[in-house]
Structure 1
Amino acid sequence: MRIDARGLEFVVRAGGAEGGVPALLLHGFPQHGGEWDDVAPALHAAGLRTYAPDQRGYSPGARPAEVEAYRIPELVADAVALLDALGVEAAHLVGHDWGAVVAWAVAAAHPDRVRTLTAVSVPHPAAMAHALANDPQQKVRSSYMVLFRQPGKAESVLLGLRAAALRRMLAGVGDATRVASYAEPMREPGALTGALNWYRAMSRADLARVGPVAVPTTYVWSDRDRAIGRGAAEACATHVTGDYRFVELPGVSHWIPDEAPAELAEAILARVRGTA
């Protein structure tokens, strides 16, 4: 389906029984709403109605040119506007990678719109900001962002030789077909720039500004995540005042929805049912 919100048009994958309890699923970089395809069936079987949008920069009709248009407050406003357009008062919120950043910020700023939160891979933004400033290991893990923040150069490196570098980065998601399902859309004009603008608009100040989260929350982290270290992951708990559970998936990489969909669905449903 396509949804108009804030003057932009978002592509949204909807699934599950109409009238089911709504869940908003937010993807990360450099993927799209399809990253939830292996997670969603278990959610549908449990009675959830899922909505997985291609977010700002990823939907062809939602690619503003200005880097400032990709700051966290804008991304949060998009998520809330999508709930408004769908007629959803409050949803179970799930986010992976950058989608987790948005989900944390939505839950902090709009707790009345969030039934539960399941954040995947990326911890609370304030915990991430602290780690980026103070944790030498996390600084090394996040060093790729230096390239991503360079307009033109990042696109050239990632898309050169039929997006060979981008495909290597996505190798953990699965076979060549799955890698291509994410890499090919990034080759469309303007798509990768829109996705990279999330990094270019990011500041530690914006991350640190995200407040504590009071809604029931589960944070899912995997110990083979090259982007997020244990220090940042374990510091997440200090930024949640509501019921909180930390789920660690051993032997799993950053690409949790693709690599461990059953385990992730189990964690989401435990939170939704209040049994986390």
Structure 2
Amino acid sequence: MRIDARGLRFEVTAGGPEQGEPVLLLHGFPQHSGEWDAVSPVLHAAGLRTYALDQRGYSPQARPTQVEAYRLGELVADAVAVLDALGVATAHVVGHDWGAIVGWALAATRPDRVRTLTAVSVPHPAAMAHALAHDPQQKARSAYMLLFRQPVVAEKTLLALGAAGLRRLLHGVGDATRVAGYADPMREPGALTAALNWYRAMSRGELAAVGPVAVPTTYVWSDGDVAIGGVAAQACAAHVTGDFRFVELAGVTHWIPDAAPTPLAEAILARTSATG
């Protein structure tokens, strides 16, 4: 379906029982709502209704050109506006990578709209900001962001030779067909620039300013994640005041929804069905 919100048109994939408790699924970079394809059926079988959103910059008709249009506050406002348009008062929120950052900020600033949060791979933004400032290993892991923030240079680097750079980045999501399913949409005019603008609009201060989360929260991380180290992951708990669970997966890549959909779905269901 297509949802008109905030002067933009977002693409949303809905599934599961219409009367089921709603789950908002938020993807990361450089993916799209298709990253939930193997997770959603398990949630549907458990009676949940899912809404997988192609976020700002990823929905072709929700692609503003200004970098400042991709500030975190805008991304959170999009999620709220889409929930409004769907008639969903509160939802379980599940986010991976950048979608996790949006989920954290949404839960922190609009807890009235979030039943539970399951954040995947990326910890609370303040934990991430602290690790970037104080953990040399996390600085090294995040060095790719310096490239992503460079206009034109990043696009040329990632799209050269048939998007070979993007395809290397996506190593671990699955076979060549799966990789192409994410890389090819990024080759459309303006698509990669819009996705990279999330990084260009980001500031460490904005991440650090995200407050504590009081809603019931699960954080899912893997020790095989090359982008997020243990220091940032372990610091996450300090920024959740509500019920918190830390689920660590062994030997899985950063691309948890693709690489380990069943354990992830089980963690989501454990969270959404928990009463305290």
Q: Which residue of 2 aligns with 1:96?
A: 96
Map residues 49-64 of structure 1 onto 2, 5 A cutoff.
Answer: 49-64=49-64
Q: Distance in 2 between matches of 1:13 and 1:181?
A: 16
Q: Which residue of 1 aligns with 2:42?
A: 42
Q: Distance in 2 between matches of 1:134 and 1:171?
A: 28
Q: Which residue of 2 aligns with 1:239?
A: 239
Which ranges of 4 or more aligned residues in structure 1 deviate by more than 3 Å?
Answer: none
Question: How many angstroms does 1:17 deviate by?
Answer: 1.3
Q: Does 1:260 align with 2:264?
A: no
Q: Which residue of 1 aligns with 2:74?
A: 74
Q: Distance in 2 between matches of 1:112 and 1:54?
A: 23
Return the TM-score normalized by structure 2: 0.99
Question: How many angstroms does 1:110 deviate by?
Answer: 0.5
Q: Which residue of 1 aligns with 2:84?
A: 84
Specify the SS of the correspondent of 1:59: coil
Q: Distance in 1 between matches of 2:104 and 2:122?
A: 9
Question: How many angstroms does 1:18 deviate by?
Answer: 1.1
Which amino acid in the other structure matches residue 174 of structure 1?
Answer: G
Q: Which residue of 2 aligns with 1:180?
A: 180
Q: Residues 183-220 of structure 1, C-alpha deviation per residue, up to 9 Å, x if partnerless?
A: 00000000000000000000001101110000000000
Q: Which residue of 2 aligns with 1:110?
A: 110
| Consecutive unaligned residues in structure 2, runs of 5 or more | none
Question: How many angstroms does 1:43 deviate by?
Answer: 0.3
Question: How many angstroms does 1:137 deviate by?
Answer: 0.5
Q: Distance in 2 between matches of 1:263 and 1:124?
A: 21
Q: Which residue of 2 aligns with 1:33?
A: 33
Specify the SS of the correspondent of 2:252: strand
Specify the SS of the correspondent of 1:224: coil
Which amino acid in the other structure matches residue 17 of structure 1?
Answer: P
Q: Distance in 1 between matches of 2:135 and 2:216?
A: 28
Specify the SS of the correspondent of 1:117: strand
Question: How many angstroms does 1:11 deviate by?
Answer: 0.7
Specify the SS of the correspondent of 1:173: coil
Question: How many angstroms does 1:45 deviate by?
Answer: 0.5
Q: CA RMSD in A?
A: 0.8
Q: Distance in 2 between matches of 1:171 and 1:223?
A: 16
Specify the SS of the correspondent of 2:61: coil
Map residues 61-210 of structure 1 onto 2, 5 A cutoff.
Answer: 61-210=61-210
Q: Distance in 2 between matches of 1:100 and 1:250?
A: 20
Map residues 8-27 of structure 1 onto 2, 5 A cutoff.
Answer: 8-27=8-27
Q: Distance in 2 between matches of 1:229 and 1:194?
A: 27
Return the TM-score normalized by structure 1: 0.99
Q: Distance in 2 between matches of 1:8 and 1:100?
A: 22
Question: How many angstroms does 1:275 deviate by?
Answer: 6.8
| Consecutive unaligned residues in structure 1, runs of 5 or more | none
Q: Residues 113-151 of structure 1, C-alpha deviation per residue, up to 9 Å, x if partnerless?
A: 000000000000000011111110100000000000000
**Counterparts in 2 of 1:32 and 1:142: CA distance versus 1, 3 Å:** same
Question: How many angstroms does 1:171 deviate by?
Answer: 1.6
Question: How many angstroms does 1:10 deviate by?
Answer: 0.4
Bigger drift between 165-174 and 98-107 goes to 165-174
Instruction: Give the fraction of aligned pairs with identical amino acids, expressed as a percent.
Output: 78
Q: Distance in 1 between matches of 2:193 and 2:268?
A: 31
Specify the SS of the correspondent of 1:251: coil
How many residues are aligned here? 276
Q: Distance in 2 between matches of 1:113 and 1:10?
A: 19
Q: Distance in 1 between matches of 2:92 and 2:128?
A: 23
Q: Distance in 1 between matches of 2:275 and 2:250?
A: 21
